[in-house]
Amino acid sequence: MELLTWLLTSLTPLLASLVGLLAILYMYVTWTHDYFRKLGIPGPKPGLMGNMDNYKREGVIGNDMELVKKYGRVVGFYHCRLPIMLVSDPEMIKEICVKQFSNFTNRKRPEPINKVFRSAMSVVEDEHWKFSRSVLSPTFSSGKMRQMVPLIQNCTASLVQNLERQSKEGDSVEMKNVMGCYTLDVIASTGFGMDVDSQVDPNNVFVKNAKEAMSGGFTFPYITSLLFPFTKAVFEAVGWSVMQRNSRDFFFKVMDKAIDDRRQHPSARPDMLQLMLNTHTLENTMEADDIQDAQLDFSKTRKRPLTNDEIMSNSVVFMLAGYDTTSGALSFASYLLATNPDCQDKLIREIDQHLGKDLATYDNVMTLPYLERVFLETLRVYPPASRFARMAKNDITIKGYLIKAGTSVNFPIYAMHHDPEFWKEPERFEPDRFLPVNKTAMHDYCFAPFGIGPRNCVGMRLAFLEFKMALVTVLQHFRFRAAPDTEIPPKLEKGGFVRAQNGIYLRVDKRT
């Protein structure tokens, strides 16, 4: 009895302290959870992890579609203690991303970022972002794209050979792997003058590391930084980030060597790497038909050499983003054509009529109207990312909603692309939605596969070109068909990128 009394006497203060500490931590983590209630913005009730538990059940895509359906065009929810406003109202999107762009130039970055990546164009802010954009935009002018065509033609020829090898036995082909090898070859060649040749080697180390690098999700550093924002600096100091360390170090090493080689032996190639190395010697000019950055005035942007970190970070991000997004679009297009053979037949007829067996070039693929519609409809059904985001610099009221400074505003691309209010039978693949006569009735701001406004995807034009050249070249030789192991429809991953969870397996039959 005396022992029990002693234990109770000794442990009670400790237990009380522990309970008190847990109560303080709970209050800290949930302190922000009345943020949207005070602003009168509807949304689900948050728990300890905010509303992130729903991602385990529905994934990001399912979560967004559920929130829009239940709560409307403006919804408030939480990543742990971080308030996020989900906006799917086209007029508000236009106001935020275009008209009020100066107040929404940046993105909120709660996750720890490796020190080199802090210089990437996707991360930097304000004038630093504008400077980076002015440097990289000329890489993607129509004139530069035309100069890249021979390099892309080499990659499309390898793609055809790769498909011939893989389809010889009549087995199905996993399209994301094949298209991923193609897009990685294109990015390496056109961006950095590197001959990766991943389509010949199925175990290519570039492909392996690219897959690992793009596989990150809601990692421990990300969740911990959301719960306790002060830990972000700790993670960054010890080199933790959302990207796998091994794959990150692989690409840093590869790019470091490429940069060093190019400094010692400058090239006349019009690629991204040489442009970054030469930026302080070049004029900031736009070609007449380059409207991608027409809303930005680069004339007053200060010219200076890029730092090594700026060159390194933009090189790695460009390679990985280009690899993942365009390969996804090509693999989903293959699936959609295989499961909609009437659309595939129509596209093949257009290619045969206009090109026959001629090589795909910038000029001939860009004049194929049905190919354009297939591309756009593929990106509607399967956009590369499920969301994009902006952050308010200052308090602003839009359509009666107060958006406070520092608020992260997310736009649910996939949910908008599948919203029956914007699209009739949204799950159906119908390229003729994008006929000129139909596009006039379409709201410009409910279709956003590359983002909207001045901070949209800088590599959009290259994605158009490599997609179209690949699809035309492949369909000159093959037809896609559903196979017994084709998953219809493909189950999608639960993360923020739109990917087929179990791959996309198709038959690739030689045309006669």
Q: Assign 421 to helix, strand or coil.
A: coil
- Sequence ranges of the domains in the chain: 34-510
184: enclosing H helix or E strand: helix 175-192
195, amino acid identity: D
Tell me the sheet residues that pair with 389: 410
State the number of CA atoms in the 13 A half-sphere of 476 facing the CB: 22
Alpha-carbon span 6 to 1, nearest angstrom: 9
Tell me the sheet residues that pair with 186: none
- Retrieve residue 105's tokens: 């130039």
Nearest to 399 by CA among 38, 43, 73: 73
Please answer whether residues 129 and 106 qualify as being in contact, where contact means their C-beta atoms are separated by less than 8 angstroms: yes
Alpha-carbon span 213 to 253, nearest angstrom: 14
Please answer whether residues 208 and 339 qualify as being in contact, where contact means their C-beta atoms are separated by less than 8 angstroms: no
Concatenated DSSP letters for 126-141? HHHHHHHHHHHGGGGS
- Retrieve residue 209's tokens: 């590391």
Label the pairing between strands 396-398 and 82-87.
Answer: unpaired
Nearest to 187 by CA among 476, 449, 470, 508: 470
pLDDT at residue 288, as a whole number: 47
Nearest to 318 by CA among 208, 151, 192: 192
DSSP state of 97: I
346, amino acid identity: K
Q: The domain 34-510 belongs to what CATH superfamily?
A: Cytochrome P450 (1.10.630.10)
Determine how many CB atoms are found less than 10 A away from the CB of residue 237: 10
| Dihedral angle over CA of 214, 218, 224, 229, nearest 10 | 80
Work out the end-to-end distance of the chain between its first and last CA atoms, rounded to an integer number of angstroms: 93
Tell me the sheet residues that pair with 76: 85
Sheet holding 173-174, edge to edge: 173-174, 505-510, 478-482
Nearest to 465 by CA among 381, 371, 380: 371
pLDDT at residue 291, as a whole number: 46
**Cis preceding-peptide flag for 489 (omega within 30 of 0):** yes
Nearest to 149 by CA among 311, 343, 355, 366: 366
Q: Is 284 exposed, middle or buried (0-12, 13-18, 19+ CB in 10 A)?
A: middle
CA distances from 216 to 114, 241, 393, 495 (A): 14, 10, 28, 9
Alpha-carbon span 449 to 498, nearest angstrom: 11
CA distances from 212 to 217, 228, 244 (A): 11, 27, 7
Tens-binned pLDDT, residue by residue, of the chain (512 aa): 566 665 556 656 666 666 666 667 777 778 889 999 999 999 999 988 889 888 888 999 999 999 999 999 999 999 988 999 999 999 999 999 999 999 999 998 877 777 777 888 888 999 999 988 888 888 888 888 888 899 999 999 999 999 998 888 778 999 999 999 899 899 888 888 888 888 887 677 877 887 777 766 666 677 777 777 777 777 777 676 666 778 878 888 888 888 888 888 887 776 888 888 887 665 555 554 554 555 566 556 667 788 888 888 888 888 888 888 899 999 999 999 999 999 999 999 999 999 999 999 999 999 999 999 999 999 999 999 999 999 999 999 999 999 999 999 999 999 999 999 999 999 999 999 999 888 766 777 999 999 999 999 888 889 999 999 999 999 999 999 999 999 999 999 998 889 999 999 999 999 87
DSSP state of 499: -
Q: What is this structure's pTM?
A: 0.90
Determine how many CB atoms are found less than 10 A away from the CB of residue 456: 17
Alpha-carbon span 309 to 316, nearest angstrom: 11
